[in-house]
């Protein structure tokens, strides 16, 4: 992790209820300069499967003070209509 950055770790489950495999892209938004550190690429999920995905987000300490609402959005790359957005929080130092 970089010097003046704050990192939060999450664990998400990606459920593919379709009868074919999908490759998903994860995005995060809600804080200035919020960066998705992991996963670094697409998430492959076979049909009828659940993938447990560790997620790491980083933001500059100056932007991350306190508790911030953020959104994680996952989209199937081969079927953009398959999209899900979830709200969560990014927690930084209090002062």
Secondary structure string (H, E, C) spanning the chain: CCCCEEEEEEEEEEEECCCCCEEEEEEEECCCCCEEEECCCCEEECCCEEEEEEEEEEEECCCCCCEEEEEEEEEECCEEEEEEEEEEEEECCCC
Predicted TM-score (pTM) of the model is: 0.90
pLDDT tens digits, one per residue of 25-76: 999 999 999 999 999 999 999 999 999 999 999 999 999 999 999 999 999 9
Adjacent-strand bridge partners of 75:
25, 83
- CATH superfamily label, 5-91: Immunoglobulins (2.60.40.10)
Domain assignments of the chain as residue spans, ordered by start:
5-91
């Amino acid at each position: 992790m970089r010097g003046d950055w704050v990192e939060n770790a999450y664990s998400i489950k990606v459920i593919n209820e379709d009868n074919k495999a999908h490759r998903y892209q994860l995005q995060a938004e809600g804080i200035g300069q919020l960066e998705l550190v992991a996963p670094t690429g697409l998430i492959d999920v076979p049909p009828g499967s659940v993938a447990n995905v560790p997620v790491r987000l980083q933001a500059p300490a100056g932007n991350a003070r306190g508790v911030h609402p953020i959104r994680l959005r996952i989209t199937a790359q081969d079927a953009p209509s398959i999209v899900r957005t979830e709200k969560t929080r990014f927690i930084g130092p209090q002062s």
